[in-house]
Chain A
Amino acid sequence: MIYHGSRFTFRPDVPPEQRTRALESLRDLGRVIPSVESVAVGRDHSGEYEWGAVFVIGDLEGYQQYLTHPGRRRADRFLRPLVERSASFDLTDDPDPETGTKMAELRRRLREAPADHDPLPGRHTRRTVLKAIAVTTAAGTGTAVGLVSAAPAAAAGPAAAAPAYAVAAGASVEVALSVNGQPRKVVLEPRVTLLDALRERLGLTGTKKGCDRGECGACTVLVDGERVKSCLTLAVMRQGAEVTTVEGLARGGELHPVQEAFIRHDAFQCGACTPGQIMSAVACIDEGHTGSQAEIREWMSGNLCRCAAYQNIVAAVADAAKEVRR
């Protein structure tokens, strides 16, 4: 058996609910990591630390799994900023002395390597990240492409002249967009898609989330005039872009010709795919792919309609194309 233990004291300013969550995240590892046979998390009564945790693991292979498991890294990342001081130990009752040597070796290789190579060391605040990258940039050959204006906190640090910016995992970044002609700023993590940024952060729920994997087209919007699937692009990738959603088509009380045509031709039943169909149709007409019914079908193929209102959608697009051209 291998026993990995850790003892730690929370920083005094960590609120009770966050402590509870942190302790729970340690207990969770017993459920998340298959090789962890049991976990004990409790008060440390030695007097030196507040809390302790012991993980019981079957063998070396399991120990490696434990050390490299993403769940453990996640818990670690969550816990680290909350902890004032900590100590850990690893012991084994395996009579083979090789096991201990291999454990130490594994630990050295797996636990120290990332720290050595981590370009974003220490606490991953945005400021330190920017500094880290600024150094990289200054050392580079630098064909700067004017990202300065797009760099979020660039003005605050030495990264002001840097052509690049960076965000650490779990940190947020400010993304500036023009949405339907309005300048908008939104602070989000890199993993937030443009779709979620529009719907959840900017309250523009006209853009629909269908499959959330680029297959249905319900999330189609225009970015810098081109139609894209907003579920397949990260908001952070669209820094400085002009986004048009279905909310931005009408002019005052006057609907866009494509919207009018969809109503005229009854080009929907449930309506869930309609905003995406309309945005795609606007681009399809703009691209000039409305020469025939077959051409419209081909170039609208990125938008699925589960009600199968295709006949009427094609008619609406053809009709709107005539109107737009007029």
Chain B
Amino acid sequence: MRAFGYTVAGDPAEAVRIATRTPGSTYVAGGTDLLNLMRDGAETHDHLVDVNRLGMGDVAVDSRRLRVGGSARMRQVAEHAAVRREFPVLSEALLASASPQVRNMASIGGNLLQRARCGYFRDAASPCNKRVPGSGCPAISGHNRGHAILGGSGHCIATHPSDLAVALVALDATVRLLGPGGERAVPIADFYLLPGSTPEQETAMRLGELITRVDVPRTPLAGRSRYLKLRDRATFEFAVVSVAAALRTKGRMVQDVRLAFGGVGTRPWRDTRVEAALRGRPLTGQAIAAAGRLLVRDAEPREGNRFKVELVQRALVSILSDLGGLR
């Protein structure tokens, strides 16, 4: 790693002030992704601002929502009794991520901002529009088994690797940010951007902004949620395809449903048309299959990831059948 400066900030406002004023700076919490990005030359930073001592590590539930501090650790959230009871999809998505060691280290804010696992992005010697805008995307005609079938562009087809983000998208979470212009809240649906012609811009965050908290609304639906992750080995691996689902039924009728998908989209993927196709109708194998077809209607598979079109539909059948008691 090349040399960089380091500041331990004492409070969030100070962290933002230092990061905004110091050229080439970024925040570090766990560092579990950042250090590898810097080693690989996928990211270069002249200065790191440590955000571990800002008092942003709490996890709490009140009558309306779950509040997760930006520097809370993955393990802490996954093991939190109220999270496990009332937001099982969050706990399951976190426990399906990384390894026990990394879950002790990695923060929630950092998890949401982890970078693509695309081999071309991570290899500083390859062209990559995300890393060096305008240099090209070798994945489109190259190794693209792990890449997106939805939401891609001619500039980038990398998936977002966070499992937690998929679960948060399903639960309509809100990301709270502090920046040089003050505080603001961004619904997670607007937080991740499609690559379009600017794949280097992955989120709606502005220069110097810091994730201070993630809020998740407390609803009966969230309590009936699950995460299904399919991957190349049993554990300690990123998703090939994943589904976060929350379902409420009355008898056979679907009262409400939320679905988000990982591994298939250039951002954590939610398509409300798929949910609408299920809502207010009996939950049957046929209905789920129809919803699945709707999900992949606009899919643009590549040579290496064609299998995901079928796999994501089967994953949907599997998780909804389990949640809805069809098997």
Interface, chain A (partner B; CB < 8 A)? 70, 74, 113-114, 117-120, 124, 129, 133, 136-137, 140-145, 147, 150, 162-171, 173, 189-191, 193, 212-214, 217, 220, 226-229, 231-234, 236-237, 239, 280, 283-284, 287, 289, 297-299, 301-303
Confirm or deny: B182 has a beta carbon within 8 angstroms of a beta carbon on chain A: no
Confirm or deny: B135 has a beta carbon within 8 angstroms of a beta carbon on chain A: no
The residues in B between 2 and 21 inclusive whose CB is less than 8 angstroms from any CB of A are 2-11, 13-14, 17-18, 21
20 A–B contacts from the bound complex (CB under 8 Å): A70-B44, A113-B23, A120-B22, A142-B10, A147-B10, A163-B11, A163-B53, A167-B5, A167-B7, A228-B101, A229-B101, A229-B105, A231-B35, A233-B30, A234-B6, A239-B8, A280-B101, A284-B100, A302-B99, A302-B101
- Is there contact, CB below 8 Å, between A140 and B8? no
> In the bound complex, what is the Cα–Cα distance between A289 and B95 (angstroms)?
13
Q: Which of A136, A142, A237, A284 contacts B31 (CB 8 A)?
A: A237
- Is there contact, CB below 8 Å, between B105 and A137? no
- Is there contact, CB below 8 Å, between A167 and B55? no
A residues in contact with B31, CB < 8 Å: 232-234, 237
- Is there contact, CB below 8 Å, between A118 and B5? no
> In the bound complex, what is the Cα–Cα distance between A119 and B31 (angstroms)?
23
B31-48 Cβ-contact flags toward A at 8 Å (1 or 0)? 110011001000010111
Q: Which of B5, B30, B102 contacts A190 (CB 8 A)?
A: B5
Closest residue to B236 on the A side, CB-wise? A301
> In the bound complex, what is the Cα–Cα distance between A150 and B32 (angstroms)?
23
B residues in contact with A118, CB < 8 Å: 22-23
Q: Which of B18, B35, B101 contacts A136 (CB 8 A)?
A: B18
Interface, chain B (partner A; CB < 8 A)? 1-11, 13-14, 17-18, 21-23, 28, 30-32, 35-36, 39, 44, 46-48, 50, 52-55, 75, 98-102, 104-105, 234-236
A residues in contact with B28, CB < 8 Å: 234, 237
Closest residue to A238 on the B side, CB-wise? B52
Question: Whole-angstrom distance from the CB of B235 to the nearest CB of chain A?
Answer: 4
B residues in contact with A284, CB < 8 Å: 100
- Is there contact, CB below 8 Å, between A301 and B235? yes
Q: A229-B101, A301-B234 are in contact. List 19 more A-B contacts (CB 8 A).
A: A120-B22, A124-B5, A136-B18, A140-B17, A141-B13, A145-B55, A164-B7, A164-B9, A166-B5, A166-B8, A191-B1, A193-B35, A214-B101, A214-B102, A217-B101, A232-B102, A234-B6, A298-B234, A302-B102
Q: How many A-B residue pairs have CB under 8 A?
A: 160
Closest residue to B14 on the A side, CB-wise? A140
Task: Known A140-B13, A173-B6, A301-B235; judge A227-B1 contact (CB<8 A).
Answer: no
B residues in contact with A212, CB < 8 Å: 39
> In the bound complex, what is the Cα–Cα distance between A214 and B40 (angstroms)?
13
Question: Whole-angstrom distance from the CB of B232 to the nearest CB of chain A?
Answer: 13
Q: Which of B11, B22, B32, B98 contacts A143 (CB 8 A)?
A: B11
- Is there contact, CB below 8 Å, between B5 and A299? no
Question: Whole-angstrom distance from the CB of B36 to the nearest CB of chain A?
Answer: 5
> In the bound complex, what is the Cα–Cα distance between A164 and B18 (angstroms)?
11
- Is there contact, CB below 8 Å, between A119 and B13? no
- Is there contact, CB below 8 Å, between A213 and B39? yes
Interface centre among B39, B52, B104 (most CB of A within 10 A): B104
- Is there contact, CB below 8 Å, between A136 and B13? no
Question: Whole-angstrom distance from the CB of B76 to the nearest CB of chain A?
Answer: 10
Question: Whole-angstrom distance from the CB of B79 to the nearest CB of chain A?
Answer: 9
Closest residue to B52 on the A side, CB-wise? A237
A residues in contact with B104, CB < 8 Å: 226-228
B residues in contact with A147, CB < 8 Å: 8, 10, 53
> In the bound complex, what is the Cα–Cα distance between A214 and B97 (angstroms)?
13
Q: Which of B11, B44, B99 contacts A141 (CB 8 A)?
A: B11
> In the bound complex, what is the Cα–Cα distance between A123 and B235 (angstroms)?
49
Task: Known A140-B13, A302-B99; judge A190-B6 contact (CB<8 A).
Answer: yes
> In the bound complex, what is the Cα–Cα distance between A137 and B53 (angstroms)?
14
> In the bound complex, what is the Cα–Cα distance between A173 and B14 (angstroms)?
21
- Is there contact, CB below 8 Å, between B5 and A164? no
B residues in contact with A301, CB < 8 Å: 99-100, 234-236
Interface centre among A164, A231, A299 (most CB of B within 10 A): A164
Question: Whole-angstrom distance from the CB of B91 to the nearest CB of chain A?
Answer: 14
Interface centre among B5, B100, B105 (most CB of A within 10 A): B100
A residues in contact with B54, CB < 8 Å: 145
- Is there contact, CB below 8 Å, between A232 and B105? yes
